[in-house]
Amino acid sequence: MCRSAVYPGTFDPVTYGHIDLIKRAKVLFPDLRVVVAKSILKRPLFSLLERMKMLRKATEDIEDLIIESFDGLIVDYCHRNKIRIIIRGLRMLSDFEYEFQMALTNRKLLGDIETLFLMPQETYAYLSSNLLKEIASLGGDLSAFVPPFVEKALKDKLKNK
C-alpha cells in the first residue's frame, strides 16, 4: 500500500471543500503533502505566501500534514519527492473532463503517476474559489463556505482592489 500522496491546488482561497478533501485523503495516505501552486497563469487573488498561511491555519488540527509550495509541473514535484499518487477533487460532472484530461497528460509525462479522484461531502460539491470571490465582492455571507479568517481576508482583499 502506498503511504504517500500529493494534493496540489492554488487554494485561492482555501474552502471547506478543500479541507474536507484533505481530511479524506489524509485517512488514506498518512504521508499527505498539500502543495500550493505558484500559478501565475491563473492570476490568483492572494499571494503564494498568503495562500499558504491561510491553508496552514485552516488545517492546523490535522496532524503530520505537510504543506509546501511548488512552481512548474506537478509531475516534476512528484518525481523529485518520489510520490506516485496525485489527489484531485471532483465536485460536479463538469469537473470531470478537465480533470480526466489532466490525469492522462500527467500519466503521459510521468508513466508511473496515478491520479486518485475524491468527491467532497455533498455540502461542498458546488463550491469553487471563483464563485466565493464573486459572492465576497458583492458583500455576501461566506460563513458556510470558508473559515472566518478566510472570509475576512477575502473581503479585505477585495475591498482594497
Q: Is 47 a catalytic residue?
A: no
Q: Name the active-site residue from 3, 42, 80, 108.
A: 42
| Dist CA 158 CA 139 (whole Å) | 10
The answer to whether 126 and 92 are in contact (CB under 8 A) is yes
| Dist CA 38 CA 70 (whole Å) | 6
Q: Is 56 a catalytic residue?
A: no
Q: Name the active-site residue from 24, 33, 88, 91.
A: 91
Secondary structure of residue 124 in the 3-state scheme: helix
- Which pLDDT score is estimated for 1? 62
Q: Is 51 a catalytic residue?
A: no
Helix (H) or strand (E) holding 161: none
Per-domain residue ranges for the chain? 4-159
Secondary structure of residue 111 in the 3-state scheme: coil
Q: What is the pLDDT along the chain (161 residues), one digit of tens a residue?
A: 679 999 999 999 999 999 999 999 999 999 999 999 997 677 899 999 999 999 999 999 999 999 999 999 999 999 999 999 999 988 776 678 888 888 988 899 888 899 999 988 888 777 788 888 889 988 899 999 999 999 999 999 988 76
Establish how many alpha carbons lie within 13 A of residue 59's alpha carbon, considering only the half-sphere containing its beta carbon. 30
CATH class held by domain 4-159: alpha beta
Instruction: Enter the C-alpha cell of residue 112.
Output: 508511473
Secondary structure of residue 144 in the 3-state scheme: coil
Q: Is 39 a catalytic residue?
A: no
